[in-house]
Structure 1
Amino acid sequence: MSVPIACTLSEPELRVRLEGITALAQRALLDHELDGPTLRLRYASEVADELERLVEQERECCGFLKFDLVRHPDGVHLAITAPAPVAGCASTLTAHFLGDVSREPTQCSSTCGCNAKGAAT
């Protein structure tokens, strides 16, 4: 059974989640790198527990994305990888993790989860 490429949150739930992710990024994101279909993020160590809870929530609503979270001495490293069918949309699907609220997610294809609600988590 394949996982649908779409966020399962309702519009109100999605807005609340995006606000929380953006606030966390603005408060604790140290650096990032987009490497093809993978967004690599490094957060301050003090938000490790909060980030772990967030990743568990994201795994539930966006099962099509792969989340790898590892604690390191220099911070908490999170890699989010988009699957092959939407790899070209990785930056759109993960934009809110960068904490830039001025970036509006765009729709990238009919198979992308961001089409359904204007954004995907």
Structure 2
Amino acid sequence: MEWAPAECTLPTEERPLRATEFDELFASALRGLQRVGPTHLRLRLKNGAQTEEATRDLVARETGCCSFFAFVLTPGDDGLILDIEVPAVHAKVLDGLTARAIEAAPQVAS
């Protein structure tokens, strides 16, 4: 996770595994994304209990090592909405996560 900030407490050797978890979530469940602002990313994920459980688990663990992230997962009729916000000082981290999502699920960028 080359975009991980110095404040991240996840051990360096575990960062590639966490990046892979995000990649897998994006590849399997990402249906759309919107950069609401420089510090706010909104992801639309496919509906389903398994996706919701996996997403809640992943964002809980990510918040544990990078507490500056604010994740809000909202179930809806059209899918799950995951809002991700960061302080302005960490906007580049959100840029990296956005790029990673587009790379893992290029269909959402078109």
Query: Which category of TM-score, normalised to the shorter sequence, fits these structures?
Result: 0.7 to 0.9
Q: Quick one: distance in 1 between partners of 2:20 and 2:45?
A: 17
Aligned residues: 97
| Aligned-residue CA RMSD (Å) | 2.0
Give the 3-state SS of the residue equivalent to 2:103 in structure 1. Answer: coil
| Corresponding residue number in structure 2 for 1:119 | none
1:91 matched to 2:91 = no
Give the 3-state SS of the residue equivalent to 1:100 in structure 2. Answer: helix
- How far apart are residue 93 of structure 1 and its match? 4.7
1:51-92 CA distance string (max 9 Å, x none): 111111111011011111111111111011110223355312
- How far apart are residue 10 of structure 1 and its match? 1.4
| Corresponding residue number in structure 2 for 1:70 | 74
2:63 pairs, out of 55, 59, 67, with 59
Q: Quick one: distance in 1 between partners of 2:44 and 2:23?
A: 14
Checking the alignment, whether the CA contact within 8 Å between 1:8 and 1:61 is kept in structure 2 is yes
| Corresponding residue number in structure 2 for 1:17 | 18
Checking the alignment, whether the CA contact within 8 Å between 1:5 and 1:62 is kept in structure 2 is no
Unaligned runs of 5+ in 2: 105-110
Single out whichever of 86-95 and 76-85 deviates more from structure 2. 86-95
Larger relative helix fraction: 2
Q: Give aligned-pair identity as a percent.
A: 33
Following superposition, which runs of at least 4 residues in structure 1 exceed 4 angstroms of deviation?
none
Specify the code of the residue in structure 1 equivalent to 2:43. L
Give the TM-score, by structure 2 length. Answer: 0.77
Give the 3-state SS of the residue equivalent to 1:92 in structure 2. Answer: helix
